[in-house]
Structure 1
């Protein structure tokens, strides 16, 4: 009887340790994603604010610099790379699939037009777009999918 109790306790401890290890691994991955998104949102917002301040203070800005700000390239959002047939900035689902998490977070802020409500909200929006089958299509404009996830068309 004592031996059965000992075996039962060992099985319970192994099970508890496996669950704890799984939770720790999942939590660490989630924390990493949240930190990447938080940093990208913060950096993108600061870059955008700096650019607006530079323009507002009479900085010499050409039309091309206004349409294609240099800071967008740091986030792999070069408008020249993602233009549609009418010349509008319109990345597709195929582009979204190639982007890193940092680029997806910056694009979400850009499309939203202001700072998002929070890091968790931004990560949820990115995951929502990732789950849409259209986000895997080569020709579907990703902003339409992002609008569907956000729930507010631009």
Structure 2
């Protein structure tokens, strides 16, 4: 027989479980959004600094212009991800190995301009993560990203 005390306890246990679950999920989401936000702003800052150095006439080799050193900080070393034609073309296998910071920087790089926001970037990364072709080892991930971005770069 359910007494008011038993119902109250069940209610509070259920409420506590819901609160703990929401806190865990919300905390993980906020952490991911924080990583993405910092990665986007850091990438843009590093890119702007490299372009300013070139504009000031600081010497840079052709290799440094083609494969800027700051890309290595994000795991986007062009020499690691070139296809048979010499183009920067990471695959689905590469995407699966990348961390969130690298995925955010790659999304900004492929977009070609600042993304509309951290949440938008998060949604694009999750779209690529879910896209079936992103799991093909040989599929150029930029093609998958283009499908998710919904706009050519």
Q: TM-score scaled by structure 1? A: 0.97
Task: Kindly report structure 1 stretches of 4+ aligned residues shifted beyond 3 Å.
Answer: none
The alpha carbon displacement at 1:79 in A equals 0.1
Residue correspondence of structure 1 range 9-20 to structure 2 within 5 A: 9-20=8-19
CA distance in 2, matches of 1:134, 1:146: 10
Q: Which runs of 5+ in 1 are unaligned?
A: none
1:102-123: per-residue Cα shift (whole Å, max 9, x none)?
Answer: 0000000000011101000000
CA distance in 2, matches of 1:44, 1:119: 13
The alpha carbon displacement at 1:62 in A equals 1.1
Which residue does the alignment assign to 1:150? 149
The alpha carbon displacement at 1:78 in A equals 0.1
Which residue does the alignment assign to 2:86? 87
CA distance in 2, matches of 1:44, 1:97: 20
1:64-117: per-residue Cα shift (whole Å, max 9, x none)?
Answer: 111010000000000000000000000000000000000000000000011101
Which residue does the alignment assign to 2:55? 56
Which residue does the alignment assign to 2:133? 134
Residues 1:43 and 2:42 are matched in the alignment: yes
CA distance in 2, matches of 1:58, 1:110: 23
Q: Which runs of 5+ in 2 are unaligned?
A: none
CA distance in 2, matches of 1:82, 1:38: 25
Residue correspondence of structure 1 range 91-130 to structure 2 within 5 A: 91-130=90-129
The alpha carbon displacement at 1:153 in A equals 2.3
Residue correspondence of structure 1 range 15-30 to structure 2 within 5 A: 15-30=14-29
DSSP 3-state at the match of 2:3: helix
Q: TM-score scaled by structure 2? A: 0.98
The alpha carbon displacement at 1:9 in A equals 0.6
Q: Number of residues paired by the alignment?
A: 153
CA distance in 2, matches of 1:76, 1:11: 49
